Amino acid sequence: MTIPSRVIVDDVSIVLCGEAGKGIQTVERLLTPLLMSAGFNVFACKEYMSRVRGGSNSTEIRVSSQKKVAYVERIDILIPLDKDAIPHLANRISQSTVIFGSTKELASGLPIVDVPFDGIAAEVGGAIYANTVAIGLISGLLNVELSVVGKFLEKFFKSKPDEVVRKNIEAAKRGIDIALSFSGAGKIDVRVKPDERVKSDMLAGGAEMIAAGAIAAGCNFVAGYPMTPSTGILTFLSQHAGKFGIIAEQAEDEISAVNMALGAWYAGGRGFVCTAGGGFALMVESLSLAGMIESPLVISVGMRPAPATGLPTRTEQGDLEHALYSGHGEFPRIILAPSTVENCFELSKKAFDMAGKFQCPVIILSDQYLVDTIYNAVPFKFAGAGDNHVTMTAAGYRRYALTPDGISPRGIPAYGDGFVNVDSDEHDEDGHITESMDVRSAMVEKRLRKYEAIKKELIPPELIGASDYETLVIGWGSTFGVIKEALEIIADPRLAALHFTQVHPLHPDGAGYITRAKNRVIVENNATSQFGKLIKLSTGMEIENKILKYNGMPFSVEELVSGLREILAKGALK
């Protein structure tokens, strides 16, 4: 066997692929914290099919000297764990991809470095150890010493019998030994520099950080019906419910879940609902109810390709208009779109404060790509949950008192002497049903006046790059990392990006940035440029150039660089 010659410097993309049930996610769960403990920056994202077994699932793990937080098309090292993996990833495999696997099982016509993972695992103690052999191989290529790997495995498997721990360490050693025989000058040379500071980072994922932000905000009730990609949020909050005083309820359906959360808010709790686009579709009548009774409500919507069930385990930014226009009638709402794993925490926490303060629904729009992304992040501390925006009521309390800013003091039952009356019909200041046209007009205007108060606390968009730009790339939500890295690669001082994490209402600074640009490009994971349409509706400005993707995969750095360069070559930057 001829070992390929390949030098990989500073940034290596490692992809593992196999059918569901082969333990791909287990490798990710083991390898990412292991490499981080060795001082490497790590970033991982996954694509998977909607089946319990079979199909082809893959995980990409980027290991880099400098922090990278975006998906790349490039595969430097591929470990296919079944015969379907290589055909599944054919469009991402290049001549420089190094493939490790059993040449007997992988008849692909491509050069493969022969590593019979299953055979080695059988020698150690069983096929179950094949993944640990792969972990050892990758660790060895990155020059992680066996003592570091062994110490990590001991900690990871501490609840298992000593024999299991010993065999996992042996499997990892076999993988490391193989890697050392392949690596070095003239062979496979991976040169990624570890950074001691990374060892003190935390490994953070989008789903966990949305959940953690809710905990930091004082969330004490969560309801949901399991639905990809938001199940991880419900799972995390359920697992930590006892520690943080949270009531977690897996409801019989999405309608029940959202109504339970409304009940929690009415009783003085802080209710949270997590779902996906299809589940949110079932909640829209209750969203409108929240608008009428002026109840706080926080809903996390994990976007995925639709309509209907669509591609239930893939990613898309296709539910912006769904979130913007759902619910009958006119009432205020706030829509936030986290950009990074850290931002998932920040915006989730802020959502609860905004919902309580402005007594309206707040929707957190994430997507499968962001929710399932993990990487090393600087640890942060939980601050206090802040004001719960609840008033102790007095006799004669009026739940819907007309106020200059439209925000009435919010009381809760049994907290004071007042009677807290809410009704889904139009009502007067006391909450009693009315059919008075004058009262109706006053209440509509009262509710909509909240937008003026909301506008004082809008989150401004972030400018990436020089302020004297000519061409402006506009993005929102989870495209932040890939846009930022693409701009770093293109490195043209006349090119900048404007990124939004609050998509409704829009901050007025956005219009100023967009107006100053000679040329504009919008990047969206949908087919109709939903955010571009919202910008035009809000500012009157048409975004001339659009880079859109809607096949269920996130943007890769390479395709965005290519798309931007193509637009620039047509005269955007002269």
DSSP 405: T
What is the predicted pLDDT for the residue at 501? 98
**Helices (H), strands (E): how many in the chain?**
19, 22
> Strands across the sheet with 471-476, in order?
462-464, 495-500, 471-476, 519-524, 545-548
- Which stretch of DSSP H or E encloses residue 98? strand 98-101
Q: For the chain, which domains are there? A: 6-200 (3.40.920.10), 203-377 (3.40.50.970), 390-445 (no CATH), 462-572 (3.40.50.920)
Per-residue pLDDT tens, the chain, 574 aa: give them: 567 789 999 999 999 999 887 788 889 999 999 999 999 999 999 999 887 777 899 999 999 999 999 999 999 999 998 889 999 999 999 999 999 998 888 877 788 999 999 999 999 999 899 999 999 999 999 999 999 999 999 999 999 999 999 999 999 999 999 999 998 777 999 999 999 999 999 999 999 999 999 999 999 999 999 999 999 999 999 999 999 999 999 999 999 999 999 999 999 999 999 999 999 999 999 999 999 999 999 999 999 999 999 999 999 999 999 999 999 999 999 999 999 999 999 999 999 999 999 999 999 999 999 999 999 999 987 777 778 899 999 999 999 999 999 999 999 999 999 999 999 999 999 999 999 999 999 999 999 999 999 999 999 999 999 999 999 999 999 999 999 999 999 999 999 999 999 999 999 999 999 999 999 999 999 999 999 999 999 999 999 999 999 999 999 999 999 999 999 988 654 4
What is the predicted pLDDT for the residue at 574? 43
HSE-CB at 404 with a 13 A cutoff on CA atoms is: 0
Closest to 334 in 3D by CA, of 357, 303, 355: 355
What is the predicted pLDDT for the residue at 2? 66
What is the predicted pLDDT for the residue at 242? 97
What is the predicted pLDDT for the residue at 1? 55
- Which stretch of DSSP H or E encloses residue 254? helix 254-266
Q: What is the pTM of this model?
A: 0.96
Tokens of 272: 């949270």
